[in-house]
Amino acid sequence: MPNSFGTLFTITTWGESHGTAVGVVIDGCPPNLPLTIEEIQVELDRRRPGQSDIVTPRKESDTVEILSGLYEGRTTGTPISLLVRNADQRPGAYDEMVEKYRPSHADYTYQSKFGLRDPRGGGRSSARETVGRVAAGAIAKKILRMAGSVEIRAYLTQVHDIEMPPLQKFPTLAEVEASPVRCPDPLIAEQMIARIKEVRSQGDSVGGAIECRVRGMPVGLGEPVFDRLEADLAKAMLSLPATKGFEVGSGFAGSRMKGSEHNDPFEMRDGQVHTTSNRSGGVQGGISNGEELIFRTAFKPTATILQSQKTVNVKGENTELAARGRHDPCVVPRAVPIVEAMTALVLLDHWMRHLAQNRIFKF
Amino acid sequence: MPNSFGTLFTITTWGESHGTAVGVVIDGCPPNLPLTIEEIQVELDRRRPGQSDIVTPRKESDTVEILSGLYEGRTTGTPISLLVRNADQRPGAYDEMVEKYRPSHADYTYQSKFGLRDPRGGGRSSARETVGRVAAGAIAKKILRMAGSVEIRAYLTQVHDIEMPPLQKFPTLAEVEASPVRCPDPLIAEQMIARIKEVRSQGDSVGGAIECRVRGMPVGLGEPVFDRLEADLAKAMLSLPATKGFEVGSGFAGSRMKGSEHNDPFEMRDGQVHTTSNRSGGVQGGISNGEELIFRTAFKPTATILQSQKTVNVKGENTELAARGRHDPCVVPRAVPIVEAMTALVLLDHWMRHLAQNRIFKF
Amino acid sequence: MPNSFGTLFTITTWGESHGTAVGVVIDGCPPNLPLTIEEIQVELDRRRPGQSDIVTPRKESDTVEILSGLYEGRTTGTPISLLVRNADQRPGAYDEMVEKYRPSHADYTYQSKFGLRDPRGGGRSSARETVGRVAAGAIAKKILRMAGSVEIRAYLTQVHDIEMPPLQKFPTLAEVEASPVRCPDPLIAEQMIARIKEVRSQGDSVGGAIECRVRGMPVGLGEPVFDRLEADLAKAMLSLPATKGFEVGSGFAGSRMKGSEHNDPFEMRDGQVHTTSNRSGGVQGGISNGEELIFRTAFKPTATILQSQKTVNVKGENTELAARGRHDPCVVPRAVPIVEAMTALVLLDHWMRHLAQNRIFKF
Amino acid sequence: MPNSFGTLFTITTWGESHGTAVGVVIDGCPPNLPLTIEEIQVELDRRRPGQSDIVTPRKESDTVEILSGLYEGRTTGTPISLLVRNADQRPGAYDEMVEKYRPSHADYTYQSKFGLRDPRGGGRSSARETVGRVAAGAIAKKILRMAGSVEIRAYLTQVHDIEMPPLQKFPTLAEVEASPVRCPDPLIAEQMIARIKEVRSQGDSVGGAIECRVRGMPVGLGEPVFDRLEADLAKAMLSLPATKGFEVGSGFAGSRMKGSEHNDPFEMRDGQVHTTSNRSGGVQGGISNGEELIFRTAFKPTATILQSQKTVNVKGENTELAARGRHDPCVVPRAVPIVEAMTALVLLDHWMRHLAQNRIFKF
């Protein structure tokens, strides 16, 4: 089921950018969880278009409806179906795309794979699909908070070549949300915004990177050997549009170190086993060790640019294309809640899996 | 099934480092494939310990037995069970590990997750588990070659801070295997070997990176939206011991570029749609576009070092540990056939999935 | 994913009897299939309440909406989301159920399992859930017809103790639909209708049985060893509300025979291998042999009856309950399109699986 | 993965009747379970050939080896690999089968599906495959006993037309094992044995039926809507060789009743909700209600008979075949431990699934 994610807490997303609606079905949610529509809406509002002057002006309120799975304000353990209607469709804006493959977009590969495609706004390949992920992630986040004080925080560390120095402490949500670019360093955030506006004025775009940290991590999440925690996080991140890389803990820089520099010594602290450094990034042998989980995801520059580009058309002829229509000059700020949502889905699913095998039956 | 990988062509690995044997069950292999034990053994020989003077001297012939799934030299479509006996077990060498958690190993997390662990050589967390992956990957590789001239080549691009310049052409297997370090640049390979020997003499270890390229790629592999080709490759790589990062195409460097620099223009070439550059790395929208697939994986330095390190024991007391026993000062050269095997498994599984949905029933 | 069914052609159903809507997401549908909303609606009309005077008078038009997965009248290979609004909700009619467990219903088990339940019309345990199955099955049926002339026909063979004599030939759809009870034997059908009306007048209910036959069967469907064709059909049938038994071919009667009587001899006919009898019911070793597939499913009498019954309430007190509200005195006639839908889903999924492993790569 | 069964507690079986060995990999077993090889062997001994004079004389000690997943007598939470060597192979006995399809066997369907087959003793389609199921089931049974006093008892109720009267009480294991035919009614058992010997002397075979009862059932097992407990039991039973039918509780007879006769009234008993009758068979709405689970499985007569039968050969010519070699004149007595094993696997898996969703996180 290529449109499903998760093993015990699973989601199935559906919907196209300019179809009737997008949505998600959540299966396996624990029953009796108090849940309001506002708790889902607040996360969708962080993802929606038009929220600031550095993102796409497409007008979508992204109002979520709950169609099933709740009774008198509580989950019932049956599938939760969530739906968001698409409002601001301008199919005319995509006429040229019917004929021409947009460079570094999914037009050519969808056409080749399926033999046809919905060209309106990229159809299924549009990041609009992530609406369902964010809605489901809001529920996963709530369970993680209620069940174990697990707190997930993602934020921009880089836009183009502007990079934030390493963060000494776990940032608050307010610090991240203080700037529309979602970088908790206010001065760097200003530079990032300026760069985004600059490239937009050039009809161009930029990429960037998101770091995600999780504190309050339970020990033991991650299933050897294939479903290691970092393996499923890597898959979750690379399943997002525009991502090109993932690293956990020391990451690529760690591959340039010696073992004597890289290893994280253990020590007892407050009666608990801890490491004195965290180059492991919170996972060892594919399993969380209780330290802060930390990983980074790289996003390429938005493929849609207003400059003219060489491409081919569906008839197999060389041609040129200059995009019209609305787009994000940098997708990374709006990707922050999506990264958090996918992280929450991975952690909750793994927590349930871990407890199911290892804590239900005690011998 | 945390010890299984794949959807249509699936593998299930089992076995501990110093148990009786390690093995794999392959389910879903197409029938009628001619297969000899030698075709599997040759890949295991590339992975096995003791193959050169820069790897662990553990003596394992890694002789594979085929227990099921073949009849008169052909696969029958039923499960193929492969087994490799463990020979050179020295359980005494691991006595200290019973009591002490090795830093940056899986000892503490396995103990915490499961409540007990097999301490002999890391038990299930040992890279010895990958024997089954390589054996299964040998079959996947053969099918990819026979069915579509798909050729997979992995090689070292980096050891510690020694890095190979970008490779202009697709290297031959002979070029990679010419050096025990499996770097196709002979001069860099020599430097890498010297560095590995140097750190070994210090009782230390180093990390590195592997690049993997695939040519002869079919168009259309990768399932939107969660099972994108790069998402499943990322999971496959991060499921390997000691990996810390994954990037495809332009990767992290791509996140520092502008869209106008990063996009890959399309052009017609030899009657086919091609891109004039390959920053996408062969995937667009999660689906292969027929260009060369290219990705890199970062490996941390071997956690086992002979120097004394601070750690804690199972009673929760601070202590020190200096490893004895045999280990690889750099695991990356032996990881090359493993990376290739996992890549083959991902590609074959995705190819079968793609054709199953999109080419069986034509309307 | 307990609310999902299938491996390659998968469905996920959601929704409660008296919630906002019920629906289904179909993942893995081949692209380019021409599909109209009418083709789905026609099957829903066979299942919907109020279609005749022997079924529940609940008023539901069961009008289906297609929310995603189609573009210009063709499937795109992306998830197809279908939704049917619930119209005729009378929550007041279920007030007593909030307090009392209906005998032989799912009230007590849902309450015990989940800790709460949606009592309105049985919530998720209502057969209203099967709307999504029938909608998805309509698509599967169309593909089976287009791709291979596979024809599925279910019909009633028994209501209470009224039983149809064995059918000599494959009945037409018109013959089945000629009577609201969906028994192709007109005289027996009349008796069945009379019996249903009789028990309804007594405030009682009756059970019955459905036979399903499939002609035009491809050879080779069914995956040894666990996913045998009859095993997945048995699961599909026993996943329907009110089912108590399943048998294929000779079934329970076959267990009273000798091998010399039961075996189906092979013979060549029209250049094809055929059996001269069909006690196997079209499957041998879990795999279809090309003969007619034939199986039967037993349905218990409707649990909702108007007579007073002993039961307990949610406080754990003995009490009595007499149902009010609308119900089917015999669910079996409306189950016919549901049995066909589930059969279509099993066959299509198995066909795709069979071809994926055995026909894509030829050696 | 057609050779895997289960969701959280999963098994993957492999091996052919006359290959090197048969085996199973168990994934998801809770750690810390004390386990001896004898506990597995005792169940295999109930299944093995040659155990009495009414079963096949094939000589197999079916000695099990544990290859992984245990450390110092306890499970470690990693895959448990079990292997049984095939000893008494007489490939020559099957020469004729290479050319001719045995009626009502899997020869023709395997050949058609896969394009080739291992003809030695039926290869993968042989009931020898169930060795792995029984071995894994022994572990599941032990967990069920330790965790909840769940007791599973299967026994013959019918051979040919000899049928045992309904059993008033839950039989002991000793009562079942008192006779080689595994019918707890001693007089009926004698008749069954006589019948089996009689048909064997005629070169013929007979079918029969097994009833399985489970007491100590937890409430809440079964996942709406597709993975109902009875749906997964039905699949488990129909996945066994030679099975033709399944019914739970009232079964097919229940379909001939009225609701007023069939419904199971609830009453409070010992402070617990109970039903006063058990036509539901222990499941309501697909979920266990705590009453005894009861279901029956029908087995066809052994397809291998010594009498000459009409058939076709692989060249597509009409011919005749009279089996030689060793076979069971009635497979049902040896199927008893297999039915118990599959039941244990279904129940344990469902128990883990139920608790994982509904008892881990409490709100």
Ordered domains of chain C (ranges, CATH) = 4-358 (3.60.150.10)
Full DSSP string of A201-219: HTT--B-EEEEEEEESPPB
What lies within 8 Å, CB to CB, of B215 at 6+ separation is B150, B151, B153, B170, B292
C-alpha C236/C-alpha C250 separation (Å) is: 19
Query: In terms of C-beta density within 10 A (0-12 exposed, 13-18 middle, 19 or more buried), how is residue C266 classed?
Result: buried
Give the span between the Cα atoms of A317 and B268, in whole angstroms. 7
Q: What value does the mean pLDDT take over residues A55-63?
A: 88
Which residues of chain D lie closer than 8 angstroms to C236, CB-CB?
A: 231
Q: Which of B31, B74, B224 faces C358 most closely, judged by CB atoms?
A: B31
For residue B57, what pLDDT is reported?
85
Nearest to A4 among C14, C19, C27 (CB): C27
Distance between CA atoms of C250 and C294, rounded to whole angstroms?
9
Would you write out chain C's pLDDT as a tens digit for each of its 363 residues? Answer: 999 999 999 999 999 999 999 999 999 999 999 999 999 999 999 999 989 989 888 888 999 999 999 999 999 999 999 999 998 767 667 788 889 999 999 999 999 999 999 999 899 999 999 999 999 999 999 999 999 899 999 999 999 999 999 998 999 999 999 999 999 999 999 999 999 999 999 999 999 999 999 999 999 999 999 999 999 999 999 999 999 999 999 999 999 999 999 999 999 999 999 999 999 999 999 999 999 999 999 999 999 999 999 999 999 999 999 877 678 999 999 999 999 999 999 999 999 999 999 999 988
- Residues of D in CB contact (< 8 Å) with A are 8, 28-34, 74, 77-78, 143, 146-147, 224, 352-353, 355-363
Q: Which residue has the tokens 């709950």?
A: A66
- Contact criterion met (CB below 8 Å) for A358 and A172: no
Q: How far apart, in Å, are the Cα atoms of B215 and each of B144, B269, B285, B293, C346?
A: 11, 16, 19, 7, 37
The answer to whether residue B316 scores a pLDDT higher than 70 is: yes
Q: Which of A262-266, A283-287, D52-56 bottoms out in mean pLDDT, i.e. has the lowest? A: D52-56
Residue B97 confidence (pLDDT)? 83
Least confident of A336-345, B121-130, C93-102, D182-191: C93-102
Cα separation values, D55 from D37, D46, D97, Å: 25, 12, 22
Distance from the Cα of D10 to chain A's closest Cα (Å) equals 11
Cβ separation of D13 and B71 shorter than 8 Å?
no
Check residue A158 and give its pLDDT. 98
Instruction: Tell me the shortest Cα–Cα distance from B109 to chain A, in angstroms.
Output: 6
- The complex's ipTM works out to 0.98
Neighbours of B166 (CB within 10 A): 7
b/e for C180-201, b at 16 or more Cβ within 10 A? bbbbbbeebbebbbebbeebbe
Q: Which residue of C has its CA nearest to A68?
A: C15
Prediction pTM value: 0.98
**Which pLDDT belongs to residue C94?**
74
Contacts of A82 (CB under 8 A, 6+ apart): A23, A24, A25, A26, A40, A64, A65, A66, A67, A132, A135, A136
φ, ψ dihedrals at D42, nearest 5°: -60, -35
Contacting residues of C for A2, CB less than 8 Å apart: 27-28
- When the pLDDT of each residue in chain B is averaged and rounded to a whole number, the result is 95
Among B129, B262, B279, B349, most A C-beta atoms within 10 A, so best to mutate, is: B262
Q: pLDDT by residue for chain D (363 residues), tens digit each?
A: 999 999 999 999 999 999 999 999 999 999 999 999 999 999 999 999 989 989 888 888 999 999 999 999 999 999 999 999 998 767 667 788 889 999 999 999 999 999 999 999 899 999 999 999 999 999 999 999 999 899 999 999 999 999 999 998 999 999 999 999 999 999 999 999 999 999 999 999 999 999 999 999 999 999 999 999 999 999 999 999 999 999 999 999 999 999 999 999 999 999 999 999 999 999 999 999 999 999 999 999 999 999 999 999 999 999 999 877 678 999 999 999 999 999 999 999 999 999 999 999 988
Six-digit token pair at B226? 């969660």
The answer to whether the CB of C249 falls within 8 A of the CB of C262 is no
- Residues of B in CB contact (< 8 Å) with C are 8, 28-34, 74, 77-78, 143, 146-147, 224, 352-353, 355-363
Q: Give me the total of CB pairs closer than 8 Å, taking one residue from chain A and one from chain D.
A: 70
Indicate the residue of D147, D352, D358 with minimum beta-carbon distance to A31.
D358
Would you give the distance in Å from CA C204 to the centre of its chain?
23
Q: With CB atoms and an 8 Å threshold, state whether B360 touches C361.
A: no
The CA distance from D171 to D136, in Å, is 24
Rounded CA-CA distance A9/A2 in Å is 16
Task: Give CA–CA dist A126/A302, Å, rounded.
Answer: 12
Question: Which amino acid is it at C98?
Answer: V
Average pLDDT, chain A: 95
A70 to chain D, closest Cα gap in Å: 14
Q: For residue B171, what is the DSSP state?
A: P
Q: Which residues contact C268 (CB under 8 A, 6 or more apart)?
A: C274, D312, D316, D317, D318
Instruction: Please tell me the total number of residues recorded for chain D in this structure.
Output: 363
Query: How many Å apart are CA D20 and CA B66, to the nearest integer?
Result: 8
d(CA C207, CA C160): 5
- pLDDT computed for residue B165 by the predictor: 97
Q: What are phi and psi of B286, to 5 degrees?
A: 85, 5
CA distance D10 to D12: 7
Are the C-beta atoms of C139 and C29 separated by less than 8 Å?
Answer: yes
Cα distance between residue A74 and residue A88, in whole Å: 32
pLDDT at C327: 84
pLDDT confidence bin for B26, thresholds 50/70/90: very high
C-beta atoms surrounding A264 within 10 Å: 24
B34–C363 C-beta distance less than 8 A: yes
Closest CB from D227, D268, D283 relative to C2? D227
DSSP D78-124: S-EEEEEE-----GGGGHHHHHBPPTTSSHHHHHHHHS----GGGGG
- Residue of B34, B224, B352 lying closest to C356 (CB–CB): B352
Other beta carbons within 10 angstroms of residue C38's beta carbon come to 10
Between CA C223 and CA C72 the distance in angstroms is 36
Q: How confident is the model at residue B91 (pLDDT cuts 50, 70, 90)?
A: low
Residue A172, C-beta contacts closer than 8 angstroms, at least 6 positions apart:
none
Q: Do A263 and B104 touch (CB under 8 A)?
A: yes
Could you give the CA distance from residue D114 to residue C344 in angstroms, rounded to a whole number? 23
Query: What are the b/e assignments for B234-262, b being 16+ CB within 10 Å?
Result: bbbbbbbbbbbbbbbbbbbebbbbbbbeb
Average the pLDDT over B43-70 and give the result: 93
- Cα separation of B150 and B143, whole Å? 9
